[in-house]
């Protein structure tokens, strides 16, 4: 009888310890997934912010396609070096990393590459560009500038990362607003 009680207590202790171990492993995988998504999200935002600050919005390209739409699914800028950069959501498997259905991509003068890494899927990408008219060009009939504001870009980004198990995915969102340092008036 005493042996049965000892075995019961021992079995209960082992079961509780195993449950704690499994929960700790799940929590660790979740934290690792969050850390990976956060690092990738931070890198992607910093890449876009760096290019916007150093360059300027390519209003000529937007005006050629009907103007700046708000919100926009792509950001087209001219870098300080004169290159044309386009940030957008890409679904082409030859550009996105292996196993990623949708990624943030940048097209630099016709050369496209992914900004986000493998294991991180882009869920949403939106750009809010202000002003919608080029503040550096003059309206011919009135002789006034088309807009009277510093160009700003608000970037809203949402990514999802998959952990090693189905219960491990993490979704993170971030938003930032950046102004171009170029104000050529």
131 or 30, higher pLDDT: 131
| Structural contact between residues 106 and 113, judged by C-beta atoms closer than 8 angstroms | yes
CA–CA distance, 154 with 123 (Å, rounded to integer): 17
Please determine, for residue 162, whether its predicted confidence score (pLDDT) is greater than 70: no
In a domain? residue 125: yes
Chain-wide mean pLDDT for the chain? Answer: 88
In a domain? residue 184: no
What pLDDT digit, counting tens, does each position of 106-149 carry?
A: 999 999 999 998 888 999 999 999 998 888 888 888 888 888 88
> Could you check whether the bond before residue 87 is cis, i.e. omega within 30 degrees of 0?
no
In a domain? residue 67: yes
Least confident span in 1-5, 71-75, 163-167: 163-167
CA torsion through residues 73, 89, 127, 30, sign: positive
Tell me how crowded residue 159 is: count the other CB atoms within 10 A of its CB.
Answer: 26
Please determine, for residue 24, whether its predicted confidence score (pLDDT) is greater than 80: yes
pTM: 0.81
Structural domain of residue 144, as residue ranges?
2-179
In a domain? residue 139: yes
Please name every residue paired with 122 in a beta bridge, in sequence order, or none if there are none.
Answer: 159
In a domain? residue 138: yes
Residue carrying structure tokens 């690792």 = 32
Total domains in the fold of the chain: 1
In a domain? residue 185: no
Burial bucket for residue 56 (CB in 10 Å: 0-12, 13-18, 19+):
buried
What percent helix, strand, coil does the chain show, rounded to 5? Answer: 30, 30, 35
| Structural contact between residues 130 and 136, judged by C-beta atoms closer than 8 angstroms | no
């Amino acid at each position: 009888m005493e042996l049965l009680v000892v075995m019961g207590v021992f079995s209960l202790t082992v079961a509780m310890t195993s449950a704690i171990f499994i929960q700790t492993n799940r929590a660790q995988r979740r934290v690792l997934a969050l850390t990976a998504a956060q690092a990738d999200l931070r890198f992607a935002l910093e890449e876009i912010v760096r290019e916007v600050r150093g360059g300027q919005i390519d209003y000529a390209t937007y005006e050629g396609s009907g103007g700046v739409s708000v919100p926009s699914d792509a950001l087209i800028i001219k870098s300080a070096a004169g290159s044309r950069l386009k940030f957008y959501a890409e679904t082409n498997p030859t550009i996105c990393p292996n196993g990623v259905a949708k990624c943030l991509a940048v097209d630099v003068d016709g050369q496209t590459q992914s900004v986000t890494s493998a294991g991180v899927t882009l869920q949403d990408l939106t750009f809010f560009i202000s002003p919608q008219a080029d503040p550096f060009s003059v309206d011919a009939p009135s002789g006034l500038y088309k807009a009277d504001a510093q160009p700003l870009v608000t970037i809203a980004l949402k990514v999802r990362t998959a952990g090693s198990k189905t219960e491990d995915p993490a979704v993170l969102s971030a938003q930032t607003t950046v102004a171009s340092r170029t104000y050529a008036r």
